[in-house]
Every structure is written in structure tokens, then in C-alpha cells.
A and B are shown apart, each in its own frame.
Chain A
């Protein structure tokens, strides 16, 4: 009876969003008389950072400080339509819509500023600190707040913009059925190292090493956070959680958090993450999306690592101690594979 170490690898190409109906999302941006901007979305921030990232994208596009942008999300009564927070699409789809809307709003803002400064709008630039000035002549300047007030109360203009992102429809080749299901792909590779106890069938994570290529990381700390937590959700799918452990039989299903197995703080292991940035041509500032891809490679990598450790190939998730033990017994004992 012994513990066996094994290593497994998996790579994924992950499409960002889907192609169904063009997978659109919309955004509206408008300024308030205070010179602050509101982004109206019906997209939902589940904690993954949609609000932070759309705020960054809007502020950067408008050329105003990030503090001057407020993002209002998650209400389909007050926000324009969004397909939803899924398919790793938030940053890419919603970000693109916000960028388009912010660009339009910026155009109006610059026109309004031009009227106040009595210059051509093409000669103006933003300083990113809440001012608009004539290129090369910073003293010929007006604050975005004063522009907003002038637009609202003097010029009768709304500093606002509309944005939508729609994936171009991909025709299906009638001969081959070939089409392009997505315009943007992220990539990942993960190596999982596990330890399998051949007496109990228990699998413990030893370490993970991973690399993710996900376009430009607009907020590196949020990306890292997503990758750290998401990998553990992947481990959880691989080893622990299921609502129906004996599917299709509904017996022994967990009824609450006590019975529904999930990794706890004591189950985690070192996880090294490398983020590679290859800006996406159609992403907002080159961003793709780290979303679901952070969990996906973990499952096959863990299954491969278990095979490498004890020679059993489990193709049914989650890989519970019972399944591992039955498989080890069926083949007459653990058969460690060549160390990789």
C-alpha cells in the first residue's frame, strides 16, 4: 500500500463567447452635469470583475480619470440588452460595446469642448485627468465638468454614446458544414501533479503549473485572481462535486454544503501561473477573456495525472476515491506509468 505520484498535462483552445444570433451586447454611456460618466449595462458582475474592467475601458476611451466613471449593471429594465455573463464573453463583448459607446460620447464631448474653446474639435486632446486642451497648448484648457455643464445648460447637447458589439455572421458551407463559430480564441496549458493512495483511492493535489494566453490582461490582478480561483473550481469538478454521484440513479445525492464536496482551504496546493499576452485584433484594447478557460484544462490534466500515477483511466467525473479504487482493483493493483 503506497502513495503514487503522477503528472498529467492538458491544453485547451477556448472560444470567447458564442456565435448564436451574433452574441450581441449593448452599452450606453452618458455624462452627468457634474462631468462624471455613467455606463448603463444589463450585464452582470458575478464577482469576476466586469464592473472594474468596463470602468477601465470606458475611462480609457473617454480620456477621463477612472474615478469619473460609474458603471451601473445588472438591471435589464434600466440597461440596454446583454446576452449575459457566460462563455467568457464579458470583457470581450461588453468591453467592445462600452468602447464603442464611449467613443461616440467622447466625440460629442470634444465637439462641446471645441465650441466652448472656439477651436476645431480635431485640435483637442484629453489629459486623462479631467481636462481637455488644445494640442500643444495646455493653457487653452477646459475641464470635463465645465464641458458637461455647458453641453447641458448652454448648448443643449447630450454627451452620450451608444455601443453594440455583434459578431459578424458566419456562413455555413453547404458542402462541408464548415463555419467559424468564434472570432477570438484564448489558449491554455496546465500540468497537474497528484498523489494517489492505492489503498483508499484518494487523490490529493500536489501542485499545478499553468500558462494562459488570453489577449491583453486589462486588469492583471483580476486576471490572476480569476485564474487562481478558477483552477480550483476545475479541481472541484475533477475530484469532488456532483449533484448525482450515481447518475442516472438519484441516490446519495448531496443535500447541503456539508454533503456537497468542495475543496476547502486545506486542499489547495501551490499553483504557478504564467500569463502570456497576445492582444486580440477584435478585443477591447486587445483583451480576450480568462473566464471559464481557467477551469477547463484542470479536469483532463488531473485525469491524466491519475493515469500516470496508478495506471487507471477514469472517464467519468468526478473522479471519486470509489471509482479510483474499483479501477485499481479491477486491474489487479496500481500500475505506475513512466514518470513524466
Chain B
């Protein structure tokens, strides 16, 4: 099968790669571009740890055909920090001890960023809704929710 040329923006940088037909975005990012921040969890859209933003919208990269992002803008956790400084969400996750084993963290951060980009002052229920597609097996949802609320400048409440 012939390779398909593909161009898109990756964290603000133009990239051009060749992909096989049927390659998903997760594989394209990890194996062809070398961005290891989106994680492989289940490969079928059940866990959310591969979440990335496509034109600002949250997508499961394992279920996204790479070809469909041609000409679009992809954001991953790798592009979240601002120069040497952590993004406020990253800082809030660290300050609120919102990571244990850390495997869900990239997906949680992208889901949180998608939320805060469109709704800078979410309610607790909106935060829960926003991360409901992400599984944390350490079950640390409480500190994760609190971290997102803290990053939003929201009051941390039970």
C-alpha cells in the first residue's frame, strides 16, 4: 500500500509525514513525530489517556484517522508548557497532588485544557463532565477536579 503524505500543525509547528492508510493519529504522533505525551491506554476510546486537541476540540487520538487531520492544528501535552514555565493547569496539578502513577495525567490535562479554553470559569459539575471520558485507575478524581478548579481560579470546595 502506498504511503499518504500528510501535513498538519503540531503544537504550533508545521510537520509533514508519510502515513499508511488507516494509521491512527496516536501512532502518527508517537511513532512518526516522536511526541510521546499522548499515551496508549486501550486503543479503543475507552480510557481517554490518548486525548489531544484538534483545532481546539478534544479528540481521542487512538480513534482518529491520521489522514483526517490534514491541514488542522493538533495540540498535545508536549506543547502545553509555555517556554520554561509550566501551564497553569500543569502547575495546579503539581500543587494539588493530582497525579499518582501519572498514566492518565496527559489525557486529563488535555481534557481540562479543552474545558478551560472554552469555559474559563467552570462549575464543579462542568469539570466532572469534562473529564468523564478519562479513567484514573488510582481513582484520584477528587484532587484532579480540585486542581482543575484551582487552575480556573475557582474556589476549591467539596
Q: Is A236 an interface residue (CB 8 A)?
A: yes
A258 to B43, CA, bound (A): 11
The interface-forming segment of B11-19, B32-40, B73-81, B140-148 is B140-148
Q: Is A138 an interface residue (CB 8 A)?
A: no
Are A268 and B141 also in contact (CB < 8 A) when A47-B102, A257-B47 are?
yes
Are A262 and B137 also in contact (CB < 8 A) when A46-B101, A222-B97, A225-B100 are?
yes
A270 to B138, CA, bound (A): 17
Are A266 and B132 also in contact (CB < 8 A) when A225-B97, A257-B42 are?
yes
Query: Is the beta-carbon distance between A236 and B139 smaller than 8 angstroms?
Result: yes
Query: Is the beta-carbon distance between B158 and A258 smaller than 8 angstroms?
Result: no
Q: Is A165 an interface residue (CB 8 A)?
A: no
Are A47 and B42 also in contact (CB < 8 A) when A264-B132, A265-B128, A270-B158 are?
no
Q: Which of A224, A230, A232 contacts B141 (CB 8 A)?
A: A232
**Set of chain B residues within 8 Å of A266, measured between Cβ atoms:** 128-129, 132
Closest A residue by C-beta to B48: A257
Q: Is A271 an interface residue (CB 8 A)?
A: yes
Query: Is the beta-carbon distance between A262 and B135 smaller than 8 angstroms?
Result: yes
A257 to B46, CA, bound (A): 5
Are A257 and B135 also in contact (CB < 8 A) when A47-B101, A265-B128, A266-B128 are?
yes
**Set of chain B residues within 8 Å of A224, measured between Cβ atoms:** 97
**Set of chain A residues within 8 Å of B45, measured between Cβ atoms:** 258
Q: Is B56 an interface residue (CB 8 A)?
A: no
Closest A residue by C-beta to B157: A270
Query: Is the beta-carbon distance between A265 and B97 smaller than 8 angstroms?
Result: no
**Set of chain B residues within 8 Å of A258, measured between Cβ atoms:** 42, 44-46
Query: Is the beta-carbon distance between B138 and A229 smaller than 8 angstroms?
Result: yes
A184 to B72, CA, bound (A): 58
**Set of chain B residues within 8 Å of A236, measured between Cβ atoms:** 139
- Interface residue count on the A side (C-beta < 8 Å): 26
Are A264 and B44 also in contact (CB < 8 A) when A47-B101, A222-B97 are?
no
**Set of chain A residues within 8 Å of B139, measured between Cβ atoms:** 228-233, 236, 262-263, 268
**Set of chain A residues within 8 Å of B122, measured between Cβ atoms:** none
Interface residues in B76-104 by Cβ distance below 8 A to A read: 97, 99-102
Shortest CB distance B95–A (Å): 10
**Set of chain A residues within 8 Å of B134, measured between Cβ atoms:** 265
Query: Is the beta-carbon distance between B143 and A225 smaller than 8 angstroms?
Result: yes
Query: Is the beta-carbon distance between B132 and A265 smaller than 8 angstroms?
Result: yes
Interface residues in A243-300 by Cβ distance below 8 A to B read: 256-258, 262-266, 268, 270-271
Query: Is the beta-carbon distance between B142 and A268 smaller than 8 angstroms?
Result: yes
Q: Is B41 an interface residue (CB 8 A)?
A: yes
Query: Is the beta-carbon distance between A228 and B140 smaller than 8 angstroms?
Result: yes
Shortest CB distance A126–B (Å): 29
Shortest CB distance A94–B (Å): 18
Closest A residue by C-beta to B47: A257
Q: Which of B47, B140, B158 contacts A225 (CB 8 A)?
A: B140
Shortest CB distance A230–B (Å): 8
Q: Is A221 an interface residue (CB 8 A)?
A: yes
**Set of chain B residues within 8 Å of A265, measured between Cβ atoms:** 127-128, 131-132, 134, 136, 141, 144-145
21 contacts between A and B (CB under 8 A): A47-B101, A47-B102, A48-B100, A224-B97, A225-B97, A228-B140, A229-B140, A233-B138, A258-B44, A258-B45, A258-B46, A262-B135, A262-B137, A263-B139, A264-B132, A264-B135, A265-B134, A266-B129, A266-B132, A268-B139, A268-B142
Given A228-B139, A232-B139, 16 other A-B contacts at CB below 8 A?
A: A47-B138, A221-B97, A222-B97, A226-B100, A231-B139, A233-B138, A233-B139, A257-B41, A257-B42, A257-B135, A262-B137, A262-B139, A265-B128, A266-B129, A266-B132, A270-B158
Chain B residues in the interface with A (C-beta under 8 A): 41-42, 44-47, 97, 99-102, 127-129, 131-132, 134-145, 158
The 9 A-B residue pairs whose C-beta atoms are closest, nearest first, are A47-B101, A232-B139, A257-B46, A265-B141, A47-B100, A258-B46, A229-B140, A229-B138, A229-B139
